[in-house]
A and B are shown apart, each in its own frame.
Chain A
């Protein structure tokens, strides 16, 4: 995690994303217009969130197999940063919805599913706060983490697909592939996803190191 190359890669990719995302040519479309650039910032947030929550659940499984305080710190901090990514995803989505749909909150199945996901992880933090004993806190939150991650899957990937939605990419609305007829968006979109995911893991790794030092000093 301490290697330098992926951090440099992250910085380069994100600078490229911001410059390219704001300046490069995008397809001209009715209603959506320039807000299509939000694709570079909104969609990678969800990819990042899922990657971070996945890492968190993975470390929770590791904790249950072999309990130690380090894995618990890993798991919690990944969940923390994932939660922040989810919030950013919601906010960028709301901003876009204000322009494209005319309301901040439309009650779209995807919006609701995302909000519930954040509620699940908020409950995870409440659970952690309400248990005194350190060992028990780590174990129970690891259990709930896995449970919540599994419960999140139908909510994000199955149910929204079964309902009509205004969200691009479902309910007969054109998605990314159809907007991007001439492939002008791909060269920015894919690096953007990688860049944002790397940034999430970078922030998480910093937080983990701070917590580990904290643990070492004050136990």
Chain B
């Protein structure tokens, strides 16, 4: 499994275009938001901030995680199929994608703080939410990208499949983010954080159990 993880890293670091592509995607969407909101004298309520932030993180998450199976070359999966256990493959991909998502959302957060202000008052809780959300995103998207890559028009299918599944995570995350922005006491969010963790665990467990069946086809 560790070798597989290593393989993901080296492959992606070698293909600089992917990293640059994601970075540019984040930069341009944030910049577009900045420009459109500049029309109103840059007045953005904290709630709009959190909504925009999570929408951008989610879409760049879909785009970058989707490539984990869809973008793979033809022979690679057959080769991996012959040498590795499907459980290891899905776990290594989930870990890798979670890290990727984490870096991405952190970068997005910095961009947002530069272009707009940083309304978050409770940074500790916010970073926990960020981590949990990234784990959940990668758990769901990695699995669904595996399903979508087997179908005809995979990019459309990927979007259609992933959005409804991810909404339960997104709802919780937006709610906790609002608490963080308002600077409420962290103890208020504990329940939501626990639920979020449970949903993450559920999604990852399902991916882990079901992935071998995707892999066989």
Contact = CB atoms under 8 A, between A and B. Distances in A.
Contacts of A116: 164, 167-168
Contacts of A130: 151-153, 156-157
A155 to B, nearest CB: 5
Contacts of B175: 163
B151 A147 contact: no
A154 B171 CA distance: 11
Interface in A28-64: 64
B206 interface: yes
Given A119-B163, A127-B151, A144-B147, A158 B206 contact: no
Interface stretch (B17-25, B39-47, B72-80, B209-217): B209-217
Interface in B147-191: 147, 150-153, 156-157, 160-161, 163-165, 167-168, 171-172, 175, 191
A139 B213 contact: yes
Contact of A140 (B163, B171, B203, B217): B217
Given A120-B165, A127-B157, A127-B160, A146 B210 contact: yes
B192 interface: yes
Interface in A110-169: 116-117, 119-120, 122-123, 126-127, 130-132, 135-136, 139-140, 142-144, 146-148, 150-151, 153-155, 158-159, 162-163
B103 interface: no
B196 to A, nearest CB: 10
Contacts of B217: 135-136, 139-140
A155 B147 contact: no
Contacts of A151: 140, 164-165, 168, 202-203, 206
Interface residues of B, number: 34
B143 A147 contact: yes
Nearest to B217: A136
Contacts of B113: none
A154 B147 contact: no
Interface in B193-214: 195, 198-199, 202-203, 206-207, 210, 213-214
B169 to A, nearest CB: 9
Given A147-B210, A150-B202, 15 more contacts: A116-B164, A116-B167, A116-B168, A120-B164, A126-B160, A130-B156, A131-B150, A132-B152, A139-B216, A139-B217, A147-B143, A150-B203, A153-B202, A159-B171, A159-B172
The 8 closest A-B pairs by CB, nearest first: A119-B164, A120-B164, A155-B168, A151-B165, A131-B151, A130-B151, A123-B160, A130-B152
8 contacts: A64-B213, A119-B163, A123-B161, A140-B147, A140-B151, A147-B210, A150-B203, A154-B168
